[in-house]
């Protein structure tokens, strides 16, 4: 073991280390440029956050140095990271990677200013440790025990970082030895599972690398090629990159509607989507103005992807939880961390942007950084280049921060809906025959059973509502879902491969999932079946007048099991004493309480502006349960961190007499405001049955509908039997129509009108009218919304035509 008092002794011992040859100029420039994110530029002036990070790095490096085993008989570098091949060797990969990460910390300390900068004992210890790992464990011919990712991506990426920091201290033979081992496990930038060693891994199939895995592999091969001065590897890596930004229609990647899928059917804009985004940005910045610039025209599509695929899912620095997949079970990578990681990736694209793209992107990034009042972007930023550029954005007085305008977004290729409203965001996570429910893998997200079953979220001024949320709330009580209230499910403990929900991921009975969204209005609906087909329901969510309307009908269960719909599931304040009003009367809930004939519920927010109001158009029997919870992130994943807090869930129990529900969500409303709204609502439920769910505003301007395909239904002036979603806006003699086919199997929709119309606007030429029959061609729209407008040919008023049957 090492200690400070041994420095002189070990300096003498390792004074004969032979330095390596220098990289030739062009490769050296690129290798050194790669380190600028890791340690900063040579002229770097470190701010207080960076100085603190450097101090922590030096402290940790000294700790690792003092505890490092350098004996000839060692079986690992550190006692707490055993390289043990027993029990299938599943800990070998993670522990090699963790060992490499510690060596990276030591390599940083060797380069950072401070007492360890240039320390010969430190660098000799790093090199000796690398020699050991590459001789005994991570070597040509070794098997990939356990998770393939550690061996093919995690370890070689870390090795690249180490080598760019210390290549000038290595011999040519050492550098070749290290890069040859990485080349054995990850020879190609566009393939995984290639080496002979992959036969022992969790995924032994030689397969195409896609999405975030592809950009990781590109970086592995590219930086290795720079260090090895291999022109062929550099070119192969760059040639494999642009494909990740091309539009796809199945499986992994970005879709034209803005969706991003990874692992075949899981929405993953956060985590994997950002891994991809970060990788593209790193490569483009690294290779700029070099002999090998990353200038394929296909890479310019990244700006469209930023606006359509990432902007809608970030709110006040948070990446919406429903886009983080199994990552919601990581206590050290919660929504603010993931959101900041995406913002950091966006910053990488500023230098190469056009003037208009730079302005749009800069304003959004600045707005997100400044609106996150609970996590300082600069304090948590590990990348020095990103930190420096972010500071310039923040300090630029000519740059105005920008927030997204109110708008409804639906992403049919991943069954996700987002509404950016006035000072809040509503989001909805569904699944279907096309999109998977949830992912459990590597012992993460073990209780994510219902997170794709119509889960709803409200993000508002309470920026910590979803911090430490997942281990605290009841995993059977996910807001928005309709569930078997008596079931107890086994934890998903699949550690080795992409897992699925209790035997299946896609629900093939759920064909009619989706909806229409246009401007600030939306009609989203699902013909829902749960994981084992024991519960079914027709479920709708409408956005109208900056409010969310939730409707359920025809709720059925096998064997008369107890079924309920979760209206809300939230964290309360620190002492759990939020003001709660039922029908305008203050009440306290200490455990579980059942309320009859509930017309409204008010829940005081944990911060100003975060109050929640619920209005029930038809009075409901509502159960509210207040719990004081102590839990640990290890209950749902691998992070070990204890948490505690008060939670409140509210749910409606269903039976033969109450097989539906209706409620309106009002964000930020006061108790008095809710009482007044209950007496004078601006939204009405027109119908909620097995033919259609239809709502409108009292002014008669809007009608929103989800049709279930069980017979003809009148929606305003239009009648159809097709299972479509419709948003109608009526004004005098003009009718604006937003139409979507959630089943994605229709080629056209036929409407019967109660009088004559002329086409006023039809961007794609899809609408034809013959008398009182209108046909809309929706072929190849893939569930997306088509908007067109009509004009009544006699010029009479369209107002107040609700079309009730």
Annotated catalytic residue 301: no
pLDDT value, residue 22: 82
Residue 4: Cβ-neighbour burial (10 angstroms; 0-12, 13-18, 19+): exposed
Chain centre to alpha carbon of residue 649: 24
pLDDT along the chain (805 residues), means of 10: 44 48 91 97 92 97 98 95 89 98 99 97 98 98 96 99 98 97 99 97 96 97 99 99 98 97 95 98 98 97 99 99 98 98 98 97 99 96 96 97 98 99 98 94 91 98 99 98 92 52 71 98 98 95 99 93 96 98 96 97 99 98 98 97 98 84 99 98 98 98 98 97 98 96 98 94 98 97 98 65 55
Q: From the candidates 178, 272, 410, 661, which is the catalytic residue?
A: 272
Q: From the candidates 33, 263, 687, 744, which is the catalytic residue?
A: 263
Chain centre to alpha carbon of residue 627: 28
Annotated catalytic residue 373: no
Q: Are 182 and 154 in contact (CB under 8 A)?
A: no
Beta bridge partners of 418: 409, 427
Q: Which domains does the chain have, with CATH numbers?
A: 25-395 (1.50.10.100), 413-683 (2.70.98.10), 709-792 (2.60.220.10)
**Residues present in the chain in total:** 805
| Cα gap 781→714, rounded to integer Å | 24
Question: Within 13 Å and on the Cβ side, how many CA atoms surround 305?
Answer: 27
pLDDT value, residue 505: 82
Instruction: Identify the helix (H) or strand (E) that includes residue 418.
Output: strand 416-420
Beta bridge partners of 643: 631
- Output the pTM of the full model: 0.94
pLDDT value, residue 5: 35
pLDDT value, residue 502: 39
Q: Are 317 and 371 in contact (CB under 8 A)?
A: yes
| Cα gap 151→282, rounded to integer Å | 21
Q: From the candidates 326, 512, 646, 766, which is the catalytic residue?
A: 326
Taking the alpha carbons of 284, 224, 141, 79 in that order, is the dihedral positive or negative? negative
* Angle (CA) 786 543 621, round 5°: 140
Burial 115-154 (b: 16+ CB within 10 A, else e): ebeebbbbbbbbbebbebbbeebbeeebbbbbbbbbbbbb
Residue 242 gets which letter from DSSP? G
Residue (of 700, 723, 310) closest to 515 by Cα position: 723
pLDDT value, residue 799: 52
pLDDT value, residue 4: 44
Residue (of 432, 416, 417, 413) closest to 528 by Cα position: 432
Annotated catalytic residue 326: yes
DSSP one-letter string for 503-527: TBSS-TT---EEEEEETTEEEEEEE
Chain centre to alpha carbon of residue 125: 39
Tell me the CA distances in angstroms from 482 to 8, 528, 551, one per residue in order.
69, 9, 11
pLDDT value, residue 435: 96
Q: Are 702 and 696 in contact (CB under 8 A)?
A: yes
pLDDT value, residue 8: 38
């Amino acid at each position: 073991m090492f200690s400070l008092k041994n420095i002189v002794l070990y300096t003498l011992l390792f004074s004969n280390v032979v330095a390596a040859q220098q990289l030739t100029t062009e490769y050296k420039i690129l290798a050194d440029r790669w380190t600028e994110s890791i340690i900063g530029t040579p002229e770097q002036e470190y701010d207080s956050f960076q100085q603190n990070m450097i101090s922590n790095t030096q402290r940790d490096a000294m700790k690792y140095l003092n505890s490092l085993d350098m004996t000839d008989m060692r079986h690992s570098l550190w006692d707490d990271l055993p390289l043990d091949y027993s029990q299938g060797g599943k800990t070998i990969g993670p522990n090699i990677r963790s060992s490499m990460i510690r060596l990276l910390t030591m390599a940083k300390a060797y380069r950072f200013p401070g007492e360890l900068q240039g320390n010969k004992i430190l660098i000799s210890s790093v090199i000796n440790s690398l020699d050991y790992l590459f001789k005994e464990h991570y070597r040509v011919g070794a098997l990939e025990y356990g998770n393939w990712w550690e061996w093919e991506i995690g370890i070689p990426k870390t090795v690249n970082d180490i080598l760019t920091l210390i290549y000038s201290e290595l011999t040519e033979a050492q550098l070749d030895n290290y890069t040859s081992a990485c080349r054995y496990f990850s020879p190609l930038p566009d393939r995984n599972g290639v080496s002979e060693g992959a036969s022992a891994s969790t995924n032994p199939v030689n397969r195409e690398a896609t999405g975030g895995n592809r950009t990781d592999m590109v970086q592995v091969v590219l930086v290795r090629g720079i260090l090895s001065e291999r022109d062929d590897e550099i070119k192969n890596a760059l040639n494999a990159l642009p494909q990740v930004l091309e539009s796809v229609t199945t499986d992994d990647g970005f879709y034209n509607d803005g969706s991003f899928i990874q692992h075949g059917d899981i929405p993953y804009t956060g985590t994997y989507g950002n891994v991809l985004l970060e990788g593209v940005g790193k490569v483009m910045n690294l290779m700029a103005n070099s002999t090998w610039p990353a200038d394929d025209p296909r890479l310019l599509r990244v700006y469209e992807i930023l606006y359509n695929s990432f902007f809608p899912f970030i709110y006040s620095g948070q990446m919406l939880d429903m886009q983080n997949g199994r990552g919601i079970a990581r206590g050290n990578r919660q929504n603010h961390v993931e959101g900041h990681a995406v913002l950091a990736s966006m910053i990488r694209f500023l230098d190469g942007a056009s003037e208009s793209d730079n302005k749009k992107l800069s304003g959004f990034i600045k707005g997100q950084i400044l609106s996150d009042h609970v996590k300082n972007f600069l304090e948590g930023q590990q990348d020095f280049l990103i930190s420096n550029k972010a500071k310039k954005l923040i300090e630029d007085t000519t740059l105005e921060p920008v927030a997204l305008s109110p708008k409804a977004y639906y992403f049919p290729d991943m069954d996700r809906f987002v509404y950016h409203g006035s000072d809040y965001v509503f989001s909805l996570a569904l699944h279907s025959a096309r999109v998977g429910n949830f992912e459990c893998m590597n012992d993460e997200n073990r209780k994510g059973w219902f997170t794709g079953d119509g889960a709803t979220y409200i993000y508002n001024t309470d920026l910590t509502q979803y911090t430490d949320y997942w281990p605290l709330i009841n995993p059977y009580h996910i807001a928005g879902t309709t569930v078997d209230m008596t079931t107890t499910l086994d934890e998903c403990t699949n550690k080795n491969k992409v897992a699925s929900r209790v035997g299946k991921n896609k629900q093939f009975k759920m064909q009619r999932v989706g909806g229409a969204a246009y401007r600030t209005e939306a009609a989203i609906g699902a013909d829902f079946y749960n994981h084992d087909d024991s519960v079914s329901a027709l479920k709708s969510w409408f956005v109208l007048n900056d409010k969310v309307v939730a409707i359920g009908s025809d709720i059925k269960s096998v064997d008369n099991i107890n079924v309920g719909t979760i209206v809300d599931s939230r964290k309360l304040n620190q002492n759990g004493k939020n003001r709660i009003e039922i029908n305008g009367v203050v009440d306290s809930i200490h455990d579980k309480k059942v309320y009859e004939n509930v017309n409204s519920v008010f829940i005081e927010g944990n911060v100003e502006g975060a109050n929640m109001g619920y209005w029930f158009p038809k009075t409901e029997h509502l159960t509210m349960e207040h719990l004081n919870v102590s839990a640990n992130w290890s209950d749902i994943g691998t992070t070990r961190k204890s948490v505690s807090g008060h939670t409140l869930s509210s749910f409606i129990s269903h039976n033969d007499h109450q097989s539906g529900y209706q409620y309106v969500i009002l964000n930020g409303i006061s108790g008095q405001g809710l009482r007044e709204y209950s007496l004078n609502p601006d939204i009405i439920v027109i119908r909620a049955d097995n033919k259609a769910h239809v709502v409108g505003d009292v002014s008669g301007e809007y009608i929103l509908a989800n049709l279930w395909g069980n017979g003809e239904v009148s929606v305003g002036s239009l009648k159809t039997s097709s299972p479509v979603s419709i948003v109608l806006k009526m004004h005098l003699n003009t009718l604006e129509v937003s139409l979507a086919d959630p089943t994605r199997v229709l080629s056209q929709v036929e409407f019967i009108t109660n009088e004559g119309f002329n086409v006023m606007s039809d961007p794609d030429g899809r609408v034809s009218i013959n008398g009182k029959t209108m046909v809309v061609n929706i072929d190849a729209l893939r569930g997306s919304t088509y908007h067109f407008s009509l004009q009544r040919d006699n010029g009479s008023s369209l107002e107040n035509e609700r079309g009730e049957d």
